[in-house]
Each structure stands twice: as structure tokens, then as C-alpha cells.
Amino acid sequence: MTRHYLDHAATTWPKPPGVVEAVVEYQSRCGAPASRGLYQSGLEANQIVLETRRAIRDLFRIPSVDDIAFCSNGTQALNEAIFGIAYGTNRKPLHVVTTSIEHNSVLRPLELAAARGWLEWNAVECSSSGMVDPDDVIQAIQPHTRVLIISHVSNVTGTVQKLHDLSRIAKSRDLIFVVDASQSAGYLPVDVRELGIDILATAGHKGLCGMLGTGVLYVRSELQNQMAPMMIGGTGESSDRIDGDFPWQARVESGNQNVPALASLLAGLKWKTRTAAAPFETWNEQILATIRGCENLRLVGLDSIRTTDRLPVFSLVAKRPNNLLQTPQEMAMFMDSSNRLECRAGFHCAGMIHNSLGTREQGGTLRLSLGCTTTQEDVDAACQGLVMLDQMMSS
């Protein structure tokens, strides 16, 4: 049976052509550390890192390569952002407004920083479609609010948030505007200048198509000296000093860079620039129509095909409590065992959204997510699997 991977919201698989090859090529032919040796292969490693930085700079219209720090995943980038502000900023007292759609890599650092007394925070509830209402954000802002953090796209419902409106709110109140683009990067345009984004964090292994082990953090240059990076160690420069001020980027990137993974990220970004975007709206239409035809399945989130409203992340629950195959876990096991459809079940590392969506009781949702290497065969198989699941649920 052919494997149909439907967990692109977690990480892209398969990787596009050239991505795995870039790792093998770097590791077998170069293999040297970056920012360390002045020998030929060391300079080659430096070049890979620089080219990857330039590709990221161009993609997000970031002013300078010096404003980008590579991290090991989206979680590290978000932790660097949140703890960096919480511990470093002179904006005290510090209140953060975020939303219930956030991933635990936002919610848990906020909770931990609050427990340490570094900040206070609250989360604006999204609607049952996964949308955050900008007016609710305005209501949540307090006199000591300094930061607004929002995920561009929910990893549970695929709902695209109104970043332009939220940016205007942040600017008009002098808030640091932090955007988690882990689900949107590589799929939707993200222009940090146009959107007034002060801090952008994203995984590099989802829509950007790098290997696992890649993450990106952008911090606007004027803010960098207000951040307290979590890391310090070998930076490859001024090694005779154990104290002193190192630039923000060097600190976040302390230790040896994951050059093979960055080589893969560069290959993924290059592939994206020469490859037509996947037909997400056609696939949204096909999958949403299939779900609508299922008696026993309910879509959680927006029933819209437009990628300006939603990306192809579909969360489902059983319509009736007495359905056979009721829990998301049972449904996911059926999809895998009957058709090798690899879907996710549960809360999807998003600790709050299930209260807003009303999906906590049933243990979260069954999630199918498509990405840039999804094929029409995968989508057809997904639809066929959903129809079979629906029939099984009524039998």
C-alpha cells in the first residue's frame, strides 16, 4: 500500500528534490564547521550559511542578514524571542497579549516567564472558526502591555489571521509585534517591513522545506540590544574573552551551526523559487466538499477554499457522541491501517485552542495537513479514506 503522508503541519515529507542531496553533498565533500577555520572547506561552510541567510532575508524582506539568527526549530526561535524580551527588555512592568490559537512553544515560555515573575500575560480567545477578532485584541490591551504575539496561521484549523489589522493595533500602541510564521512561511507572503513585524519566528522544516533541525528568528535591529539571548558559548570570534558584549546574532547562534541542515534549507528555498505553488485552493475545495458529504464527520474551522482565509490544515471530530470510532486517535488509527493515510490525532501541541473550538472533551481533533510536496494522489487517497471512515462510523 502506498504511504500518504498528511502531517505537513508538523514537518514536510518528502523533502523536495535536492534537499536531502544537499546534506549528503555538504557532509561528504565539505563537512567543516562554519565561522571557525580559515581553510578552504571552512570558508565553504561560511558561504553556505551566508547564502541561506540571504535567501531568508529576501523571502521575508528582512533589511539585513545581520538581523537573522538560525535556530534549531520554531520552538527555540520562539523561546529566544519570549525569554529574550522578558529578561532583557527595559520595558517593565511587562504585560504580553497573545491568543488562544498559539502553539505551546509560545504558551509555555509565557507561563514559565510569568512563574518567574518576569511578565504577565493573557490570551484572547479565537472564534469557533479559529479566527482572532482584532477588536478583542484591543480590549485585552492594558496600560502596561508591551508585546503582542500571534501565530499567522493556526496549526489546528489552518485559519489565516488578520495580520495587517493586528499590526496596525500594535503600531498604534507601541507594542512589540511578534509573529509566529511556523505554519505560513513558504506558503503565504510574509513581508516584515510591510507588516511592521518586529520579531518573526518560524520553523525551517515545514513550508520552507529544510530538514528537521532548522528554525529562523528575525529581530528588528533597533530591538536587538534590548534582548537577552538565552545562549552564550563559542562564537568563533574573540575567543580569548570570556565576558563582554557579543552581538545578539552571535549569542543566539552560540556553538557550532547545523550547517548540513542549513544547506538543506537553502536547497529547499531554491526549489521553492523555481517550482509552481501547490494548488491548495483546488485541494481545499476537494477535501471540504468530501467532508461536507460525510454524515458523521464535522469540520472544525473555516469552510472556505481561499488561501487568504485558510491553509490546507483540516481538523475533524465525530458529529455524534455515539459514533463508532469516536476519538481522534481511533479515527487516525483507522486511516493509517485501512489506507496508510498518516494523519495526526490529539491536541497538536496547542494547549488552549481546544477550549475555544469546543474540542477538548473529545480529546482534540483528527488533523490532515497538506504541504508543498503533497500530490494529487495523496489528496484523492485522503478523500477516499475520509469516505471510508465515515461509512465505518455509521456501521
Ligand X SMILES: Cc1ncc(COP(=O)(O)O)c(C=O)c1O
Q: Whole-number minimum distance, CB 63 to ligand X, in Å?
A: 24
Do the Cβ atoms of 286 and 301 come closer than 8 Å?
A: no
300-332 as b/e: b if 16+ CB within 10 A: bbbebbebebbbbbbbbbbeeeebebbbbebbb
Do the Cβ atoms of 348 and 364 come closer than 8 Å?
A: yes
| Residue in the structure block whose three cell numbers are 500602541 | 173
- Report how far apart, in Å, the C-alpha atoms of 52 and of each of 56, 69, 264, 334 are: 6, 11, 9, 41
Q: Whole-number minimum distance, CB 231 to ligand X, in Å?
A: 16
State which of residues 8, 103, 272, 354 lies at the interface with ligand X (CB under 6 A). Answer: 103
Query: Which string of x and - marks every residue 202-221 that binds ligand X (by CB under 6 A)?
Result: -x-----------x------
Residue 103 CB neighbours (<10 A): 24
State which of residues 46, 75, 145, 249 lies at the interface with ligand X (CB under 6 A). Answer: 75
DSSP character at residue 313: E
Q: Whole-number minimum distance, CB 208 to ligand X, in Å?
A: 10
Query: How many chain residues are in contact with ligand X, going by CB under 6 A?
Result: 15
Does 180 contact ligand X by CB under 6 A?
Answer: yes
Q: Whole-number minimum distance, CB 359 to ligand X, in Å?
A: 16
Does 12 contact ligand X by CB under 6 A?
Answer: no
Q: Whole-number minimum distance, CB 183 to ligand X, in Å?
A: 5
Q: Whole-number minimum distance, CB 238 to ligand X, in Å?
A: 31
Of 286 and 315, CB closest to ligand X: 315
Phi, psi of 364, rounded to the nearest 5 degrees: 95, -145
Does 71 contact ligand X by CB under 6 A?
Answer: no
Element housing 385 (H / E)? helix 376-394
Considering only the stretches 55-63, 117-125, 176-184, 257-265, report the one whose residues sit in contact with ligand X under the rule CB under 6 A. Answer: 176-184
Binding site for ligand X (CB under 6 A): 9-10, 73-75, 103, 105, 151, 155, 180, 182-183, 203, 215, 349
